[in-house]
Chain A
Amino acid sequence: MNVALFVFATTFLASAVEAIEMVTIVIGVGATRGWRSTIIGAAAGFGVLAVVVGAAGAALTRFPIDSLRVVVGGLLLVFGLQWFRKGVVRVAARGLAGLGQLDTEDADVWTGPGIDWTAFVLAFKAVVLEGLEIAFIVVSFGAAANTARTEYGPALIGGVGAIVVIGGIGLSARQAVGRIPRSLLQLVVGVMLTTFGTFWSMEGLGVSWPAGDGAILGLLALYAAVAFGYTEIQRRRIAVLRAAIS
């Protein structure tokens, strides 16, 4: 296979994995908190990313990405757990009421005049961290492709192409995501933020995950099972309370 094509395909696939994480968070936060601040946060993240990548260039691989993973992962984990908990409590209390309708009644949807900084920060951090990881992949694969000359062009097309393709798929799913009841959506996004937060923070600390990036799916399955179990326990607790009152 042609070296340039091989670099493009490898970079595209590796970047697509990171882009899925980025787009999942941005779409989940946008659907839960509102789109305006989420899009501004994501755009600001891409702006910062462009400046950092443009200034550092090939020296980017010396950036302390592990420290960034610990900070961003830790913050996503504590925030994700808050949504996880609220989601469990709300789904247990309301069930799947509102499924298939555009639900706009929820305390967590930003209705204020200015920026919703929570949505902004979540989208910004996801774009900067995952965008930096894609930039690392581009630089690493581009430089390692050939000992005689580098292949940054195909690597760059592969990295940017992955963001565009995955971003496009995410945007096309926006409408469908918006029809999920907010209480359930908050639980789902809480589970996802907790999954990525756990994975990134521990990877940044130096943990070597069994199955590498595949551990994300394992964590997701574990936390989804926990969400189901805690929701059931909470539902029964509410039923007992209601029976005691009536």
Chain B
Amino acid sequence: MIRRVGSWLFGFARFWYEFVIGDDPLMALGVATALGATAILLRSGHNAWWLTPPLVIVVLGVSIRRMSPG
């Protein structure tokens, strides 16, 4: 029973790791940083709608480069 619960918990944790982190932690880190920075700017009174999209594009470009051979 304990082994079955442990196996289920491991599978559950692995699913969310794959879903959020995948094969490149950089993108999850980049998204968290972009949203965190947006939240900080919002609290200081700036409507920072312009921040996350460019950061997402940069992080994506770096990740594609890292995934490519050569």
Tell me the A residues contacting B by CB distance below 8 Å. Answer: 70, 74-75, 77-79, 81-82, 84-85, 88-89, 117-118, 121, 194, 198, 201-202, 205-210, 215, 219, 222-223, 226, 230, 234, 237-238, 241
Contacts and interface: CB of A to CB of B under 8 A. Distances in A.
A205 B35 contact: yes
Interface residues on B, range: 20 to 34
A123 to B, nearest CB: 13
Contacts, number: 86
B19 A121 contact: yes
A176 B15 CA distance: 31
Contacts of B61: 230
A89 B65 CA distance: 10
**Contact residues of B: prevailing secondary structure:** helix
B69 interface: yes
Interface in B14-70: 15, 18-24, 27-28, 31-32, 35, 38-39, 42, 47-49, 52-53, 56-57, 59-61, 63-64, 67-70
Nearest to A225: B57
14 contacts: A75-B19, A78-B20, A79-B20, A85-B60, A121-B19, A202-B35, A202-B52, A205-B42, A215-B49, A222-B53, A230-B61, A237-B68, A238-B68, A241-B69
Contacts of B23: 82
A202 B38 contact: yes
A98 to B, nearest CB: 22
B56 A81 contact: yes
Contacts of A194: 56
Contact of A118 (B19, B48, B60): B19
Contact of B48 (A77, A78, A207, A234): A207
A84 B60 contact: yes
Contacts of B60: 81, 84-85, 226, 230
Given A81-B31, A202-B49, A237-B68, 17 more contacts: A77-B56, A78-B28, A79-B19, A81-B27, A85-B24, A85-B67, A89-B67, A118-B15, A118-B18, A198-B52, A198-B53, A205-B38, A208-B47, A222-B53, A230-B61, A234-B64, A234-B68
A25 to B, nearest CB: 15
Contacts of B28: 78
Contact of A77 (B24, B31, B42, B68): B31
Nearest to A84: B60
